Chains A and B, each alone.
Chain A
Amino acid sequence: MHPKTREKLIATVVGWLAAGVIFFPIFWMILTSFKTEVEAIATPPKLFFTPTLENYVTVRERADYVHFALNSVLISVGATLLATLIAIPASYAMAFFPGKRTKDLLLWMLSTKMMPAVGVLIPIYLLFRDSGAIDTRWGLILVYTLMNLPIVVWMLYTFFKEVPKDILEAGRMDGAKPKQEVWMLLMPLSLPGIASTALLSIILCWNEAFWSLNLTTSQAAPLTTFIASFSAPEGLFWAKLSAASTIAIAPILVFGWMSQRQLVRGLTFGAVK
C-alpha cells in the first residue's frame, strides 16, 4: 500500500473511532429510553429488545415538558441576545481601536472561564437571594450572559479582525458615525461570524446545568433541571431518566445538526486560514 494511502486509512479509522466513542453515550441513552426499567439495568446489557414508549408516557405525565423547554428556549436565546448586544460594541472597540492593554484584557476575560463556577456560587447565591432573582428567568439570563460573555467577545473579536479596516475607514470618510459603522458595515459583513457565535452561545446555555440547578427550582427551571428531577428521592430510574434526557437534548441536537457547517466554520475560524 502506498504510504499516503495508508496514512489516510489510519486517519479515517482513528476519526471514526473517536466519533464512535463520543457518540456512544448518546446512542446508549436513546436506546435505554426505549427499554423497560428492568432491561435498562440488566447485566450483561441487552442490545436487542422490544422497544417501548412507556418511559416517554410516564415522563410526560410526571412533568410539564413544554414548560421546561420554553424556559430553556427563552433563557438561552435571551442570554445570547444580551451577551451579543454587549459584546458587539466591545469587540468592535477592541478590534479596531486597540489600546496597549487590549490583548491582556482579552486574555484576562478568557481566563475567568478557567475559574470553577463553584468558586463564586456563594456570593452569587446570596446576591440572587437578596435581590429576589432566585428561580426567575431574568436571573438565569443574567448569569448565563456573564458566563458566556468572555467567549462571545473573544469570538466576535476574531471575526471582526477579519473585516478589512479600510472598509470601515471608507465608511468613516463617507460620513458614518460609529453606530452606523457597526450597524451598516461591520455587522452585515461579519454576519456569518455573529451567527456562529450566537449558535455556540445558545448551545452552551442550553446545556448548562450547574447554575440552573442551584438557582432555579420550578418557575424558571430549564430542561437541565427537568432531567435532574428524574434522578431524585425515589432513586434512579435509568430508563425514565434516559427518556427525559433524550427529549431534553433532542431540540438542541437537531438545531446543532442543522447548523453544524456554520458552527464548525465558527469554531475553527482563525485556526485554519
Chain B
Amino acid sequence: MATVTLKGIQKNYGAVQVIKGVDLSIDDREFCVFVGPSGCGKSTLLRMIAGLEEITSGELLIDGQRVNDVPPSERGLAMVFQSYALYPHMSVADNMGFSLRLAGASKEERRSKVAEAARILHLDNLLERKPKELSGGQRQRVAIGRAIVRKPKVFLFDEPLSNLDAALRVQMRIELARLHDELAATMIYVTHDQVEAMTMADKIVVLQGGVIEQAGTPLELYHHPRNLFVAGFIGSPKMNFLPATVTAVQETGTTVRLASGASIAVPVRPGPQRAGDTVTLGVRPEHMRLAQEGEISGEVMVVERLGGETFLYTRLPDGAMLIIQADGEIPTNVHEIVRVKLDPVTCHLFDTDGFAMERIQRHPLANLRRLPTRKAS
C-alpha cells in the first residue's frame, strides 16, 4: 500500500519560483506520469518527492505520513535515473545489492534478493559484468533491478527511456508496463514524450511553468483537454487550432463560423459565450477526412508519408496551417488543393482565455484505466 499526496508543494531557487503550488494525490498502485515541456518542473517535482531536493513549502505525504524532512533512503522509495547512474566500479550484482549492503543485510540474503530481481528482469547471465560491458538496454534493466531489490513502496522514474534508441524504447515501455503489473507498486514516471505518457499511464499529470495544467486518465486528457496547452500537448501531431466566431448558442451545442465561412455546430456547452464572441476551434489531424463536400479547403505544402498513414501540411486561405492525417494510400501531392470534412463531435472549442468549453457528452472511455484489474499484492 502506498499513496503519495502533494499539498501546496512549492520550490524556490532564491527568488525564482519553479514549482508554484502543486496539489496532487496519487493512488496506491497507480502508474502516474508527469509530462510537460523541458523546464516545466516535472523532474524537480520528482526529485522533491525523492528527497533529493528540499521542499520550500507545502506538505508531502507518503501513506499519509508527512515526509518533508525524512531522508531519501527512509522514504521507502527507489529511483531510476535518466543516466541510469549505475556504480561503474561495481558488478551488476553489487550494483543491485548495494542498498542491502548498506542496510547490513547478510551475504546470503543479498544474493537471494539480487537473484530474484535478476530473474524478473532476465539479467541472470550478466550478474558478474561491469556496467561498461552492458548495452544501453541492459544498463537500464540493471537500474530498474537496483530499484526492485529495495522493495520500495513507490518507484520513481526520471525519463528512464530517453537514452535508448526508438526500438528499444518501445520494448522497454512494454516491459515497464508488465513490471508494473507484476510488482503491483505505485509508480511515478517523468517524461517529455507524450506517447510514453499515453501508453503507460493510469494518470497523466501535465505540467507547465511549475503548475499542473491538468491531471487525468490518458483518454480524458485526449478527449477532454482542459485548455489549449493540454489540447496541443497531448496527441501527435498536435491538434489544429482555427479561429472561429460564435454564431448561435443552444442547449445542444454551440455553432461557430470559421474563417472559410463554413458553419459547424459543436456539441459543447456555450457557458457565458454569446453570438459574436471569438473562440478557437480545435480539431485533431486524425479526426478530419478528405472529402469533396468538405467545409475547409487549402493547398498542400508538405506531404509526410509514413506508410500506414500520410500527414498533409495544408495552408488555408487565411495563412493558417492545418495538419491532416489521411490514409497511407492517397496519391495527393504538394500544391494540390484538398477539401476536408470536420466531424463536429470530435471538435473542441476554447474560449478567449484558452479554456475548453465543456462537452455535452462525456467520452465513454474517458475514465478507462490502463489495466482493468489489478493483481492483489
Could you name 16 residue pairs across A and B whose Cβ atoms are closer than 8 Å?
A166-B85, A167-B86, A167-B87, A170-B79, A170-B81, A173-B78, A173-B99, A174-B102, A174-B146, A174-B150, A175-B74, A176-B98, A176-B102, A180-B102, A188-B89, A189-B89
Bitwise, B79-91 to A at CB < 8 A (1) or not (0) is 1011101111100
Is B50 a contact partner of A173 (Cβ separation < 8 A)?
Answer: yes
In chain A, positions 177-217 with a C-beta closer than 8 Å to chain B are 180, 185, 188-189
A170 and B77 contact, CB distance less than 8 A = no
Give Cα A174–Cα B89 distance, bound, in whole angstroms: 16
Q: B102 touching A169 by the CB < 8 A rule?
A: no
Kindly state whether residue B302 has any CB partner on chain A within 8 Å: no
A98: Cβ under 8 A from any B Cβ = no
For the complex, is A256 an interface residue (Cβ under 8 Å from B)? no
B99 to A174, Cβ gap below 8 A? yes
* A164 contacts the other chain (CB 8 A): yes
Q: Are A173 and B98 in contact (CB under 8 A)?
A: no
Q: Say whether B85 contacts A169, CB under 8 Å.
A: yes
Whether A164 touches B83, Cβ cut-off 8 Å, given contacts A171-B98, A173-B50, A175-B73, is yes
Q: Is A129 an interface residue (CB 8 A)?
A: no
Q: Which residues of A contact B85 (CB under 8 A)?
A: 164, 166-167, 169-170
User: B73 — which chain A residues lie within 8 A by C-beta?
Assistant: 172-176
Contacts of A176 in B (CB 8 A): 73, 98, 102
Measured between alpha carbons, how far is A180 from B99 in the docked complex, in Å? Answer: 11
Task: Give Cα distance in the complex from A237 to B138, angstroms.
Answer: 69
Known contacts A169-B52, A189-B88, A189-B89; A174 and B98 CB within 8 A of each other: yes
A-chain residues with CB within 8 Å of residue B89 when the two chains form the complex: 188-189
Q: Which of B147-199 contact A (CB under 8 A)?
A: 150
B344 on interface, CB distance cutoff 8 Å: no
User: How many A residues touch the partner, as a band?
Assistant: 10 to 19
Which of chain A's residues have a CB closer than 8 A to the CB of B86? 167, 170
Q: How far is the CB of A168 from chain B (nearest CB, A)?
A: 9
Query: With the chains together, A102 CA to B98 CA distance in Å?
Result: 31
Q: Chain B: residues with CB nearer than 8 A to chain A? A: 50-52, 71-74, 77-79, 81-83, 85-89, 98-99, 102-103, 146, 150
Across-interface contacts of A175 in B (CB, < 8 A):
73-74, 99, 102-103
- Name which residue of chain B comes closest to A187, CB basis: B89
Give 18 new A-B contacts, CB below 8 A, not counting A172-B73, A175-B74: A164-B83, A164-B85, A166-B85, A167-B87, A169-B79, A169-B81, A170-B79, A170-B86, A171-B98, A172-B72, A173-B51, A173-B77, A174-B98, A174-B150, A175-B102, A175-B103, A176-B73, A180-B102
- Chain A residues with Cβ below 8 Å from B83 are 164, 166
Distance in angstroms between the alpha carbons of A154 and B146 in the assembled complex: 34
Q: Looking at A164, A166, A173, A188, which has the most chain B CB atoms within 10 Å of its CB? A: A173
**Which chain B residues lie closer than 8 Å to A172 at the CB level?**
52, 71-73
B185 to chain A, nearest CB (A): 15
Interface SS of chain A: helix
CA distance A188 to B51 in the complex (A): 25
Q: Which residue of A lies closest to B102 (CB)?
A: A175
**In the bound complex, what is the Cα–Cα distance between A166 and B79 (angstroms)?**
11
User: From residue A217, how far is it (CB to closest CB) to chain B in Å?
Assistant: 47
Query: How distant is B352 from chain A, measured CB to nearest CB, in Å?
Result: 44
* A164 cross-chain contacts in B, Cβ below 8 A: 83, 85
Q: Whole-angstrom distance between the alpha carbons of A185 and B87 in the complex?
A: 7
Alpha-carbon distance A185/B146, docked complex (angstroms)? 15
* Shortest Cβ-Cβ A-B pairs, 5 listed: A175-B73, A166-B85, A174-B99, A170-B85, A175-B102
B89 to chain A: closest CB distance in Å? 5
CB distance from B146 to the nearest CB of A (A): 7
Per the bound structure, the CA–CA distance linking A173 and B85 in Å amounts to 11
A170–B156 alpha-carbon span in the complex (Å): 12
Min distance, Cβ B302 to any Cβ of chain A, angstroms: 40
**Closest chain B residue to A175, Cβ basis:** B73
A155 vs B98: C-alpha distance when bound (angstroms):
29
Distance A167 CA – B52 CA, assembled complex (angstroms): 12
**Shortest distance between the CB of B140 and any CB in chain A (Å):** 13
Closest to B143 in A: A170
Residues on A with C-beta less than 8 A from B146 are: 170, 174
Provide the residues of chain A in CB contact with B72, threshold 8 Å. 172-173
Q: Which residue of B lies closest to A185 (CB)?
A: B87
Most chain B C-beta atoms within 10 Å of own C-beta, residue among A169, A180, A188: A169
List residues of chain B with CB within 8 A of the CB of A185: 87
Query: Chain A: which residue is nearest B83 at the CB level?
Result: A166
Looking at the assembled complex, report how far the CB atom of A96 sits from the nearest CB atom of chain B, in whole angstroms. Answer: 12
B154, chain A: closest CB distance, angstroms: 12
**Complex Cα distance A167/B95, Å?**
11
Chain B minimum-CB-distance residue to A188: B89
Residues of B within 8 A of A173 (CB): 50-52, 72-73, 77-79, 99
Closest Cβ neighbor of B52 among chain A residues: A169
| Residue numbers in A under 8 Å from B81 (CB-CB) | 166, 169-170
Q: Which residues of B contact A180 (CB under 8 A)?
A: 102
Q: What residues on A are CB-neighbors of B77 within 8 Å?
A: 173
A144 and B97 CA atoms in complex are apart in Å by: 42
Which residue on chain B has the smallest CB distance to residue A172? B72
Please give the distance in Å from A163's CB to the nearest CB on chain B: 10
A200 vs chain B, min Cβ distance (A)? 23
**Chain A nearest CB: distance from B72 CB in Å?**
5
Instruction: Write the nearest CB–CB distance from B28 to chain A, whole angstroms.
Output: 21
* A170 pairs with B102, CB closer than 8 A: no
What residues of chain B lie closer than 8 Å to A167, measured between beta carbons?
85-88
Return chain A residues, CB-CB under 8 Å to B98. 171, 174, 176
